[in-house]
Amino acid sequence: MSRKLALLSVGFAFVQGCGSSTGPSVQDVAGSYSAAAFVTTTSGVNTDQLSRGATINLVLAPGGSVTGHLHIPADAISPTLDADMAGSWALSGRTVTFTQNADTFIRDMSFAFVNGTLNGDRVFGSTRVQLQLGR
């Protein structure tokens, strides 16, 4: 799990250091993605959600639609989450956002497009979610 946290940290540090005003095109971002790293941190405890069996698969079409699926196994606090990721996506500069009917954290996060990956990092209540989607 340390490697995944390091990977996420490097990706987010790179995003914060980018100052270019030009961003990728919709064609650059469109494609199939799956979770390369997915870590949640609550009360200082890191949980590698991928090692627990979580999966996220998204297909971003050039026309702005998105399809896919999110699965997060049950834990002591939350039941199993299975969600259809159908909806739309938008690109502004290097930032990708999602609009979906499914009420998941995905639609509440912004993702930075960096070197072919989508990197999201947001705190929800007392839990930090770090997600990297790769091709």
Q: Over the range 112-131, which residues count as b (16 or more CB within 10 Å of their CB) and which as e?
A: bbbeebbbbbeeeeeeebbb
Position 18 scores a pLDDT of: 47
Position 21 scores a pLDDT of: 57
Position 19 scores a pLDDT of: 45
Position 132 scores a pLDDT of: 98
Position 13 scores a pLDDT of: 46
Position 125 scores a pLDDT of: 95
User: Concatenated DSSP letters for 119-133?
Assistant: EEEEEETTEEEEEEE
Position 49 scores a pLDDT of: 98
* Residue 73 token pair: 């196994």
Q: List the pLDDT tens digit at each of the 135 positions of the chain.
A: 555 555 555 454 444 444 445 789 999 999 999 999 999 999 999 999 999 999 999 999 999 999 999 999 999 888 999 999 999 999 999 999 999 999 999 999 999 999 999 999 999 999 999 999 999
Position 15 scores a pLDDT of: 45
Residue 38: partners with Cβ closer than 8 Å, 6 or more residues away: 48, 49, 50, 54, 56, 129, 130, 131, 132
Could you tell me the fold of the domain covering 2-134? Lipocalin (2.40.128)
